[in-house]
Structure 1
Amino acid sequence: MKRREFVQTASFAAVGLLSLPSFLAAGKATKTLGLQLYTLRDTIGKDPKGVLQKVASFGYKELEAYSYKDGQIFGMAYGEFNKFVKGLGMKVTSGHYGLDMIKGDTWQKAVEDAKKNGQEYMVVPYIQEPDRKTIDAYKQICADLNKAGEVCNKSGIRFGYHNHAFEFQTVDGQIPYDVMLAELDPKKVGLEMDLFWVINAGQDPLQYFAKYPGRFEQWHVKDMDKNDRGRNADVGTGSIDFKPIFAQAKLSGMKKWYVEQETYPGAPIDSAAASAKFLKTIL
């Protein structure tokens, strides 16, 4: 992007930020260590309390949950789960919810449970392949996401969408992620940027921050294996330089971020520990 284009984009964006909700336009990017519990999906279901105790010992303070269903998570009532987490000095700040959950009474119940337990964010993390074959399909999903965001707004919870790489693959001559940024109402839906998947798709997170400042309120931080772009590495050991990305946290609008890892050089719990250790050195 040329310097004049960047200045123009930043100027327009600054005006745009004035129309966003106060919790989006204000505030500082957190340096608090966060973890998406999907990182430990192979073990947390078997021993949630034991795994959470280890996570707390690594210095993580904020958690993003997954697998909530009908008031239950990891075999516990959601309230019991949150109480245990708080007893360890951590907090569940966000959670992932399937696209199939965002309509009707099921969604209302999920939002009520999240609000009751002090959760700040609710995020849809994935669109199944049959549901994303056309740009019109993406636009319909965006309309559904906007409606789900309205429900969250009424409860004081921020709603969001999390990307993978497929949103950057051309469909009907357009980039779905760019279409989503245009179709999603910033007052109702924020973006949780998965930095790994953006880079995996051949895109630059910093360019998106500059073009759409304030839109990327949560991040997933996971590194890329130096020899295999499709695999993760423990944060700090791969090919992604996180320092310049974190340096633009304020421009992006980031409020929360979470380590997430899907493939590992060893035991997943060891990767969670290694990533926390590295990130403490650059924040």
Structure 2
Amino acid sequence: MKRRTVIKNTIFGVGGLSLLSSFKAIEEMVHPFGKTNIGVQLFTIPGLVDQDLRGTLKTLNDIGYTEVEFFGPYPFSAEVAIKQWEEMKGMLQLKNNAFYGYTAKETSQLLKEHNLMAPSMHTDIVSLRTNLGPLLEGLAPINPKYVVIPALLDSNERKDAGDYRKLADEFNRFGEQMNKYGMKFVYHNHGYEHATYNGETGLDILLKNTDADYVQFELDIFWMKAAGAEPVQYLKRYPGRFKLLHIKDAAAEFRFSGDGGTPDQWMEGFPKMADPGDGIFDIKKIIAEGSKSGVDHFFLERDLAPNPMETLNNSFKNLNAMF
């Protein structure tokens, strides 16, 4: 029995309700934002999961993480998406796609063995458009609540406000289909959606024209700041719409060289990233606002961390002290 449980049972045994109130007050001081699950987006450590998914999940649990977020492609992704990933996979010196030699059902069992959950999973827009049913069926054994698009690579789909309204309609349709599986569609900001059209950003258009019953958002604080926007302001402006947060810090200020819409611009930012709490961002303030705004899942995501184990341990220590 855990020490905290023993203490609570002892308090109830002696009828010390006033002592229990004191215990709760102390707990609130230690964890001012409530008990929060800290997770890892696996793109932080792609080499580790590629080499040994089971061992990596054990390591995450041993450190204290309680959630993971997978990235695709998956065996049931669209064939074109799998082929497009091959070039990137070679650059990253990865051998496997998710689930790294396991089936979705086997992966679900691995997660249970290591007391981990996967509340969200990243996929691609092509698979949603051309292979939605098989994709959702394939993901179902993992039991995710959110299916996330991390970026829209085709700039022709996001040229103006009208394009963003069309995307919002499409996102609503995705969400309606996902609802049948107990899932919601999620869009993850990547920078380009902060371009302004008649005083309104693309991200604002998406937020205002999607149905919160079907569509939610994942806020990546690094990419938002790289576009010159402020995470705290967005969390305040749209309470209840950002259910997931990607947390990474910056060693120095970074702004996109262009509109933030191409992989080469994102890769320029990778060397400027830092473990949460070790950089220039006020991570604790962003987490506090996120908790107030309705964020349910907080993921470490330092893209392609150069020292994976160091980042995992250091980030958990820093983040755990902030919650």
Same fold (TM over 0.5): yes
Which position in structure 1 is the counterpart of 2:297?
A: 256
- The structural deviation recorded for 1:195 is 1.3
- Equivalence map 1:209-224=2 (5 Å): 209-224=235-250
Structure 1 counterpart of 2:68, which letter? L
Residues 102 and 148, structure 1, Cα contact 8 Å, conserved in 2: yes
**Among candidates 60, 65, 78, match of residue 60 of structure 1:** 65
Matching residue of 1:267: 307
Please list, as runs of the form range in 1=range in 2, the aligned pairs for 1:1-283 lying within 5 A after superposition: 31-71=36-76, 73-104=99-130, 106-130=131-155, 131-170=157-196, 174-226=200-252, 228=254, 230=269, 231-262=272-303, 264=305, 266-283=306-323
SS at match of 1:247: helix
State the distance in 1 between where 2:120 and 2:35 align.
Answer: 14
1:263 to partner: Cα distance: 5.2
- Over 3 Å counting, the alpha-carbon distance change for 1:75 and 1:123 in structure 2 is same
Q: CA deviation at 1:184?
A: 1.6
CA drift at 1:260:
0.3
Instruction: Give the stretch that moved more between structures: 200-209 or 190-199.
Output: 200-209
Q: 1:254 to 1:226 in 2, by over 3 A?
A: same
By how many angstroms is 1:38 displaced? 0.9
Q: What amino acid does structure 1 have at the position aligned with 2:136?
A: V
Amino acid at match of 1:110: L
Change in CA separation of 1:74 and 1:134 when aligned onto 2, cut-off 3 Å? farther
Give, as a single letter, the amino acid of the residue that structure 2 aligns with 1:64. Answer: E
Q: Tell whether the 8 Å contact from 1:30 to 1:256 is kept in structure 2 after alignment.
A: no
* Conserved? CA contact 1:169–1:175, under 8 Å: yes
Residues 234-279 of structure 1, C-alpha deviations (whole Å, 9 max, x = no match): 1110111112222223432211111101154x41232122111111
User: Gapped runs of 5+ residues in structure 2?
Assistant: 1-32, 77-97, 256-268
Tell me which residue corresponds to 1:19. none
Percent identity reads 30
Residue identity matched to 1:216: F
Structure (1 or 2) with the larger CA radius of gyration: 2
Structure 1 gap ranges (5+): 1-27
Equivalents in 1 of 2:167, 2:99: separation in Å? Answer: 26
Question: In proportion to residue count, which structure has more helix?
Answer: 2
Distance, in Å, in 2 between the alignment partners of 1:69 and 1:241 is: 35
After superposing the two structures, state which structure 1 stretch, 131-140 or 30-39, moved more: 131-140
Count of residues in Structure 1 that have an aligned counterpart in Structure 2? 254
Contact 1:159 1:190 in 2 (8 A): yes
Q: TM-score, normalised by structure 2?
A: 0.73
Distance in 1 of aligned mates of 2:192 and 2:221? 13
Q: Deviation string for 1:196-250 (max 9, x for gaps)?
A: 1112222122211222111111111111113656321011101111122222234
TM-score by length of 1: 0.82
Q: Structure 1 residues 30 and 249 mapped into 2: Cα distance closer, same or farther (>3 Å)?
A: farther
Q: SS in structure 2 opposite 1:217?
A: strand
Q: The residue matched to 2:240 in structure 1 has which SS?
A: coil
Contact map agreement 1:232 1:263 (CA 8 A) in 2? no
Give, in whole Å, the separation in 2 of the partners of 1:240 and 1:199: 9
Query: Take 2:304 and 2:73, find their aligned partners in 1: how far apart are those partners?
Result: 23
Determine helix, strand or coil for the equivalent of 1:44: helix
Residues in 1 aligned to 2:199 and 2:238: alpha-carbon distance in whole angstroms: 21
